[in-house]
A and B are shown apart, each in its own frame.
Chain A
Amino acid sequence: MGYKLKKIINKAENVVEEMLHGMALANPALIHSEGLGVISRKEKASKVGVVSGGGSGHEPAHAGYVGKGMLDAAVAGNVFSSPDPERILEGIHQANGGKGILLVLKNYSGDFMNFTMAADLSGMDGIDVEHVIVKDDVAVEDSTYSTGRRGIAGTVLVHKIAGARAEEGGSLLEVKAAAEKAIQNLRSMGMSMSACTIPMIGKPGFVLGEDEMEIGMGIHGEPGINRTKIKSAKEIAKILLDKILDDYEASGIEMKNSEVALLVNGLGATPLMELYILNGEVHAYLAEKGIRIYKSLVGNYMTALEMAGCSLSLLKLDEELKKLLDAPSEVPGFSVSYGAVKTCVK
């Protein structure tokens, strides 16, 4: 086919375990349950355990968000494929501090089936398990008929909110309520400029022309809304934000004069330089719309292997969400600065 697998790996079938092994070596506060795809906090606490996970290939999601103030365990499946119930059960056991477990999952059929099956099984062990489902990708129509809206980068903000609420001693239902509130107020949308290659498959999942981009593409290369010629950072910001803001309006959420957390996420191969340029345009456009950015995050939070592209996520904040977002956390993949960001003047 003319494709060469140009990756720093040993054997394609071992990438997930070898990655987690290396990750635990770099982060002494984390432990790796070998062979079970689980990264968890070494220091166990008597609190609600927050567990997330999903297919691999989205690093630092999800293991990079394990630590004080965010996740207690993350469960990794094969690349772009849900972890199985046995692995998820291991994550639940590692995170179990006796106060119940909240599972934070992204809305994909495979994740839903495997996580709910694990929840059923752990119920038999007497562990209280609740789950929330993140579906922030406005590129997909939400529907109860189909699988519906996907979960993408905004999920990281849900990890932060739920983890902070659990860390301050919230009950299982309180932690779940905080996560649900974040999910209700969260919207994301992405775009892609190049494909990615699952190591086990060895060739790209789709082809985008040299001068093309696809608006609304998912983090596994799922088709988006439309393909166009490459546009400027300013135009990309407008396209993604218009769709996000339309969706808030359609859900009856007033955005004018509101405060938001903004996450500018890279999909893996896009340099930070470009993400910062995009961030500037997003600040300018939101200022035009009368939306104040309380917290501005830029980086690779939820990637799609070596895909080039980005996503934007907005989380509309109230006082509770602001406090939870500001709470300290010690994890490899996420840090927040205290206080609100500067207002954009351009």
Chain B
Amino acid sequence: MGFQLTSKDYAEYIRLAYQKIHENGDYITSLDAATGDGDHWANLDSGFRRLNEMAGDLETMSLFDEFRQIGRTMMSVIGGSSGVLYGSAYLEAAKILEDKETIANRELYQVLSAMLEAIMSRGNAKPGCKTMIDSLYPAVECYKACMAEGVSDTELLERVKQAALDGAENTRNMEAIKGRASYQREKGLGNLDPGAVTMSYQLEILLNYALGKVER
């Protein structure tokens, strides 16, 4: 039927997300060299490396405390733009999880929506600006549509994952309006946005993890 993610599950997701990000260093840095200043992966990787080291502690916390801890860690260890954006996202999502013991279908939607809202508001950016939003926004929109249609959790998770991946791919045809890439002559046109790609990695891993937890 459905899935239920505990704080232990979320810590496990963090470990898997770290692996995925860590493995793709050269690729992400090559994307960043084309549009940014080349440090996105190094910063994100050090943030996830720290979270990975903390995962044993994270899994003992309530979801609320876990999300707040992740937010604060991302903000300080990743630093730069990505740090404050991910940090704001987790701190906002934590509010949804106050008094919650698990993340099920409905909560996952609320968490992702809260993250999207926080990132758009802190970054003063909209979809279509060639940023991390361009993976998260279509995922949230797809989630909303799937809930309205009442599809099964398995189908929902599959479709949301695909929307996140397609969203990152679509940044290839966008012009950067925010951040370093916006100073480029071609505004990054023809290149994927590294921030959107790493966002899609995280969503892919999270949704895959939830898929594995769906009780059939």
Contacts and interface: CB of A to CB of B under 8 A. Distances in A.
Tell me whether A and B are bound partners. yes
Interface of A: 13, 55, 77-87, 109-110, 113-114, 117, 140, 145-147, 150, 198, 200-201, 205, 218, 220-223
Nearest to B33: A205
Interface in B77-93: 78-81, 83-85, 87-88
Given A198-B37, A198-B39, A205-B37, A77 B183 contact: no
Contacts of A87: 76
B38 A86 contact: no
B83 A84 contact: yes
A316 B108 CA distance: 55
Interface residues of B, number: 30
Interface stretch (B5-13, B165-173, B174-182): B174-182
8 contacts: A80-B37, A80-B39, A87-B76, A113-B85, A117-B84, A147-B182, A201-B39, A205-B33
Nearest to B183: A222
A146 B37 contact: no
B138 to A, nearest CB: 22
Contact of A113 (B29, B78, B84, B185): B84
8 A-B pairs with the lowest CB-CB distances in the bound complex, closest first? A110-B81, A81-B80, A222-B183, A113-B84, A109-B179, A110-B80, A84-B76, A114-B84
B43 interface: yes
A106 to B, nearest CB: 13
Contact of A218 (B76, B88, B177, B183): B183
A85 B184 CA distance: 27
Interface string B112-135: 000000000011000000000000
B42 A200 contact: yes
Given A109-B123, A117-B88, A201-B42, A81 B179 contact: no
A114 B42 CA distance: 19
Contacts of B80: 55, 77-78, 81-82, 110, 114
B83 A201 contact: no
A223 B184 contact: yes
B38 A201 contact: yes
Nearest to B131: A109
Contacts of A80: 37, 39
A84 B77 CA distance: 8
B181 to A, nearest CB: 9
A84 B84 contact: yes
A327 B88 CA distance: 41
B75 interface: yes
Contacts of B72: 86
Nearest to B91: A117
A223 to B, nearest CB: 6
Given A110-B80, A140-B183, A220-B180, A85 B75 contact: yes
Most buried by B among A78, A80, A218, A223: A78
B38 to A, nearest CB: 5
A114 B76 CA distance: 10
A248 B123 CA distance: 30
Nearest to B122: A113
A109 B182 CA distance: 10
Interface string B178-194: 11101111000000000
A205 B39 CA distance: 10
Contacts of B33: 205
Given A113-B122, A117-B88, A222-B37, 16 more contacts: A55-B80, A81-B80, A82-B79, A84-B76, A84-B78, A84-B87, A85-B84, A109-B81, A110-B84, A114-B83, A147-B182, A201-B29, A201-B38, A205-B37, A221-B37, A222-B180
